[in-house]
Structure 1
């Protein structure tokens, strides 16, 4: 004998209903992100590199020391000349900033190397290449951000130092061409030297090693030339002096130690050529080697 069952109430019928099936895409198992997806561009890579370079301590330290060297050495040189009542003669007053720029170039070299070599040391380069698999885009973004940062900072600081020097020292007023070479020209040369350091860092992939190589590139030719006393080495000595980086940098202040060799804006084009070759090698190395 069966027991008659009580029919469910409307409330129970609603409770027993199955939940609606989730909407499926045309392809089973696929997922569509609610965030719009687009192809990465060079602008995205530049924004990423700008975030990285301004958020690490090494950038603040190296650029801070660069500012101190340019300002302190440049102003102290002008004050020393003013207090000693020394007659500069034909020496341009803007050349008093040369030693500060030469020492400050070490800071730019260091930052250029660490911009890329430090990522190989920490393994961050794997994340960078995963987010942006194009080696050319990564290298180009790093080069653009680093060049603009160092060029603007160096140009502004050399201009400030030049204004202070001309105000402190009683000397002939520099011409417009002198101002352009000692500010914009020096800024372009130092920033390009930093790009060369970045390329060497990408090739060597070791911060200390790349910095050592770049310091040798800057100082070794001049040191070798100083100690070449033999007459048979006179031509080599002259060539090393003419094309050493300190002498090329002094050309922007019209204080070259040699009468021949590159002059005017020629040192900048030499540095641009060397940097272009090094950047090409860095691109090939990043394209063919694993991270």
Structure 2
């Protein structure tokens, strides 16, 4: 049988003492290794399959059901001016809970199981670990959302016979735009999970951030709170999602691609804070 290379001892230049040379090749680690590790983690745990599976079922199932309901009950005259793409909104709104859950579990679950110690031992660079988790999660969330929204959009256009053909910009916003927004929302959840380090707590916080502003605004009846009420309506996540379908709940506030830039800015600030905190705290 072939023998493995044996370690060697050689004297260092200018020193009478020998230096140990390992027969195992030493490879300098980089971001690619961290990405491979995080990809293995996210595709091998059950939470990924369950959360994304439920997300796809909600987005496609509810999106097609709404389209079929509208097509079966609306008159041809009303359908002629109807854009079928917004019918996918309701499934996406519920599906965001699944993406939020997976984002939080991507980071917080490792603190709950103690796996984070192994991760940080294998990759002492904490910024690299957070970057790898963020990149892998964002890619997965964006891809799954894009495929789901495209399928729903194509099916809704086919189901609602007689509806007007959406423009190129409407198609882009209802597929790529909404997918980027959902992926960023999930990435924000990942960051919150890294900060809170508790799955249930981080999920509760994120669901509250998504739903609480709109719910609170619905119960603001005082005239003195009208300005605050409008701001909560305009910048709530459900309203920003509806902007991509040109179905905003208010006549003012974000429009066009504004929700995407808002979510990008919020996520970038949160990422910077989480990274600074990660470098200071113990695992």
Alpha-carbon shift at residue 92 of structure 1 (Å): 2.3
SS in 1 for 2:10: coil
Runs of at least 4 residues off by over 6 Å: none
List per-residue Cα deviations over 1:150-205 (Å, max 9, x = no partner).
Answer: 10110111001000000000200000000000000000000000010011001100
* Distance in 1 (alpha carbons) for counterparts of 2:7 and 2:174: 68
List per-residue Cα deviations over 1:11-30 (Å, max 9, x = no partner).
Answer: xxxxxxxxxxx985125786
Structure 2 equivalent of residue 17 of structure 1? none
SS in 2 for 1:25: strand
* Distance in 2 (alpha carbons) for counterparts of 1:220 and 1:24: 65
- Aligned residue among 102, 108, 114 for 1:117: 108
* Distance in 2 (alpha carbons) for counterparts of 1:60 and 1:29: 53
- Aligned residue among 47, 50, 56 for 2:39: 50
Contact 1:116 1:201 in 2 (8 A): yes
TM-score, scaled to structure 2? 0.92
Structure 1 equivalent of residue 142 of structure 2? 151
* Distance in 2 (alpha carbons) for counterparts of 1:32 and 1:99: 62
Q: How big is the alpha-carbon RMSD for the aligned residues of Structure 1 and Structure 2?
A: 1.5
Alpha-carbon shift at residue 83 of structure 1 (Å): 1.4
- Aligned residue among 115, 126, 132 for 2:117: 126
- Aligned residue among 204, 211, 217 for 2:203: 211
Question: Unmatched 5+ residue regions in structure 2?
Answer: 1-5, 12-16
Contact 1:92 1:254 in 2 (8 A): no
Contact 1:155 1:187 in 2 (8 A): yes
Structure 1 equivalent of residue 3 of structure 2? none
The 1:67–1:58 alpha-carbon spacing in structure 2 relative to 1, beyond 3 Å, is same
SS in 2 for 1:142: helix
TM-score, scaled to structure 1? 0.90
Alignment of 1:73 onto 2:43: no
- Aligned residue among 170, 178, 189 for 1:178: 170
- Aligned residue among 89, 94, 97 for 1:103: 94
SS in 2 for 1:212: helix
The 1:89–1:54 alpha-carbon spacing in structure 2 relative to 1, beyond 3 Å, is same
SS in 1 for 2:118: helix
SS in 2 for 1:26: strand
- Aligned residue among 25, 44, 48 for 2:9: 25
Alpha-carbon shift at residue 34 of structure 1 (Å): 3.1
SS in 1 for 2:282: coil
Structure 2 equivalent of residue 5 of structure 1? none
* Distance in 2 (alpha carbons) for counterparts of 1:131 and 1:77: 48
Alignment of 1:257 onto 2:246: no
* Distance in 1 (alpha carbons) for counterparts of 2:168 and 2:280: 47
Structure 2 equivalent of residue 166 of structure 1? 157
Contact 2:59 2:88 in 1 (8 A): yes
List per-residue Cα deviations over 1:46-95 (Å, max 9, x = no partner).
Answer: 00000000000000000000110011001111111111134357552100
* Distance in 1 (alpha carbons) for counterparts of 2:166 and 2:9: 73
- Aligned residue among 82, 97, 103 for 2:71: 82
Contact 2:7 2:23 in 1 (8 A): no
* Distance in 2 (alpha carbons) for counterparts of 1:23 and 1:80: 73
Question: Unmatched 5+ residue regions in structure 1?
Answer: 1-21
Alignment of 1:35 onto 2:18: no
Aligned length: 270
